[in-house]
Structure 1
Amino acid sequence: ATKVPFRLNQNQALLTFEDEGVAQRLTKMSRHTVNLDNTKANVTVRPFELEMGFQFELHVTVSGKKINVSEIPELPIPKDWMRDKLELSFYKAEQAAGGGEIENVTYNKESGTAVITFLKPGASNNFVGCTKYLFCAEGRCFKLAVSPHFDFRLRKFQPYCRVSKKTILLKGIPEVEEDEESVQDMIEIHFQKPSNGGGEIEKIKYTSRGAAYVCFEE
């Protein structure tokens, strides 16, 4: 499971219960009076919300108009000339049953790669299974690597805020003389009692000074 960091601010506590019904019941009660030794503290229970994220559908399709070309040799000719030679070679495309008219060639000299875009939809299908392509330039022949070009589309993109079913966030815990561990024990005792609407606690984290980052995993 993925661990998500959560910022726990000063005088706050996180409690994770074994039974999610306990957490939901305490959240509905909202306010609780906790006995912290000689002090009665009115604390607030809030649903534990993780950082906002995004959910979406990623649709991947093989382009019917584009192919990726790599392992293009570096030759002592201008970049535009190489692009023209690639266009001419793939336009003829005798090795792939005809490529057809080319709409655009994007060539990257540094990486030795290019994206060939044909004018006619479905033209790239002629290169299916053609992993090596014979390319001749400057009196020499080279084998270029050819692979499908994938189109990525995001759909149903929307933000969401995930709420934990088993964990609650306590706010408004007052500062007391007792040390942090003692206060945490008193909070745990209170929320573990069924008479207070509580139940068995799996984990608890309380911070009285500064802020702490908790790795949350549910």
Structure 2
Amino acid sequence: ATEIPFRLNQNQALLTFEDEEVAQRLTKMGKHCVKLDNRTANVTVKPFELDMGFQFELHVAVSGNKISVSEIPELPIPKDWMRDKLELHFYKTEQAAGGGEIKNVTYNKGSGTAVITFLKPGASSKFVGCTKYPFCAEGRCFNLCVSPHFDFHLRKFQPYCRVSKRTILLKGIPEVEEDEETVQDMIEIHFQKPSNGGGEIEEIKYTSRGAAYVCFEE
């Protein structure tokens, strides 16, 4: 499970109920008068919302007309020349085992990698199982590493705001002389009573000083 942190600010509380209907009812009521020892506090109930997230589908497929090439040697020749040599090398049928005409070569000199795009669909299948490939340039021979190229597509990408159905955020709790645990107990007693619109509480966290981070599992 993924843990999602939430910052609980000073004089705030989080209450998670066993029944989501209780949380929804308290949220609709909005304002609540809570008895804190010898005084009554007007507090506000807000829906509990985590930070905005994103959801999407990631589709991965092996390309039918591209291959990835790595371990390309760094030679004292211009970048364009190396790109041309790669194109000629993989175009030749006797070397490329039928690679055929090339549409594009994307070469990265810094990382020693390239992506070869063939014009004919399915041409990349000629290189299946061929991990090392001989390559000669500048009077020397090298072994290039050839691997399938993967195409990644994001679909149904959309932002969303995660709202907990069973948790409420309590704001406006005044500073009192009692210690944090005592105040938390008084809050819990109030919101457990059905006469106040409450119900059974599963978890509660109140902070009176500074801020606290609470983690939720998704």
Q: Same fold (TM over 0.5)?
A: yes
* SS of 2:33 mapped into structure 1: strand
4+ runs deviating over 6 angstroms: none
Aligned to 2:102: 102
Distance (Å, rounded) in 1 between the aligned partners of 2:216 and 2:184: 18
Identical residues among aligned pairs (%):
88
Match of 1:28 in 2: 28
Specify the alignment match of 1:175 in structure 2: 175
Quick check: 5-14 or 122-131, which moved more? 122-131
Q: How many residues align?
A: 218
* Deviation of the 1:88 alpha carbon: 0.7
Deviation track 1:103-141 (CA, whole Å, cap 9, x = no partner) reads 222222232211112223332232233222222223333
Q: Secondary structure at the match of 2:174?
A: coil
CA distance in 2, matches of 1:54, 1:110: 33
Which ranges in structure 1 are unaligned for 5 or more consecutive residues?
Answer: none
Separation of aligned partners in 2, 1:50 and 1:144: 48
The one-letter code sitting in structure 2 at the alignment partner of 1:92 is K
Deviations 1:42-92 (A, max 9, x none): 222222111111111222222222210012223343333222211111001
Which residue of the partner structure matches residue 190 of structure 1? 190
Q: C-alpha separation between the residues in 1 aligned to 2:6 and 2:162?
A: 12
Aligned with 2:202: secondary structure? strand
- Does the CA-based 8 Å contact 1:96-1:130 persist in structure 2? no
Aligned to 1:159: 159
Tell me, in whole angstroms, the C-alpha distance in 2 between the residues paired with 1:111 and 1:184: 58
- The whole-number CA distance in structure 1 between the counterparts of 2:149 and 2:73 is 20
After the TM superposition, which of the residue ranges 113-122 and 20-29 deviates more from structure 2?
20-29
Cα distance in 2, alignment partners of residues 93 and 13 from structure 1: 71
- Letter of the 1:159 counterpart: P
Aligned-partner Cα distance in 1 for 2:87–2:123? 14
Superposed displacement of residue 203, structure 1: 2.0
Q: CA RMSD in A?
A: 2.0
Which position in structure 2 is the counterpart of 1:15?
A: 15
Structure 1 residue 3 displacement after superposition: 1.4
With normalisation by structure 2, the TM-score equals 0.89
CA distance in 2: counterparts of 1:132 and 1:93, whole angstroms: 17
CA contact (8 A) 2:89 2:95 kept: no
Cα distance in 2, alignment partners of residues 24 and 93 from structure 1: 69
2:134 corresponds to which residue? 134
2:213 aligned partner, one-letter code: Y
After TM superposition, give the deviation of residue 95 of structure 1 in Å: 4.5
How far, CA to CA, are the matches of 1:30 and 1:80 in structure 2? 67
Shift of 1:13: 0.7
Structure 2 residue aligned with 1:211: 211
Structure 1 position 96, deviation (Å):
4.3
Letter in 1 for 2:35: N
C-alpha distance 141-93 of structure 1, shift in aligned 2 (>3 A): farther
Aligned to 2:145: 145
